[in-house]
Amino acid sequence: MQDWPREVAARGYLFTLEQFEDLVAQEMYREPGAMRIDLDAVVRDGAVRLGEGRYETVVYLGERAGYPMLTCTASWDPASVELRRPAPRYLKMLADGLRESHGWTAERIHTYLGGLPGVRGLWDIGELRELIDAA
């Protein structure tokens, strides 16, 4: 089994349930407004699967300041999926976000991203450092 992190650096946004439903619908390539999520079921069960594809499972991450924290992800076991090298643009977006939202240095971002299963072994250390330093 892969060495998957149990904690991740994240950034949260305060949405209404309807806004979150629209976001999830868009990630699933569906029309905004066409998606309904049973928030009580997500909180009670920890996750609700809305479909078979990517971003079609809504997961409850806990609560912060009285608000439920949710994300959407794929329903499959990550250990069963072949990892692919993330695109430079995607990694740069992550690096920019870590710098902006957490105030992390380039070195901390490099250590964090370089240690993740989707990056470790798929990115050359020097290339990753160049990309992060340019972010």
Quick check: 23 and 35 in contact, CB under 8 A?
A: no
The span from the CA of 89 to the CA of 128, in Å, is: 12
The span from the CA of 110 to the CA of 107, in Å, is: 5
Do 74 and 27 lie in a common domain?
A: yes
Does 10 reside within a domain? no
Q: Give the percent of the chain with pLDDT over 90.
A: 66
Quick check: 104 and 98 in contact, CB under 8 A?
A: yes
Helix/strand/coil for 74: coil
pLDDT band with cut points at 50, 70 and 90 for residue 54:
confident
Quick check: 123 and 114 in contact, CB under 8 A?
A: yes
pLDDT in tens, 13-45: 999 999 999 999 998 888 888 889 999 999 999
Domain membership of residue 29 as a residue range:
17-79
Do 40 and 66 lie in a common domain?
A: yes
Do 73 and 102 lie in a common domain?
A: no
Structure tokens at 75: 């329903």
Number of domains into which the chain is organized? 2
Do 70 and 22 lie in a common domain?
A: yes
Q: What is the pTM of this model?
A: 0.79
Bridge partners of 72, per DSSP, are: 58
Q: Taking the CB of residue 80, how many other CB atoms lie within 10 A of it? A: 8
Do 95 and 58 lie in a common domain?
A: no
pLDDT in tens, 78-114: 778 888 899 999 999 999 999 999 999 999 999 999 9
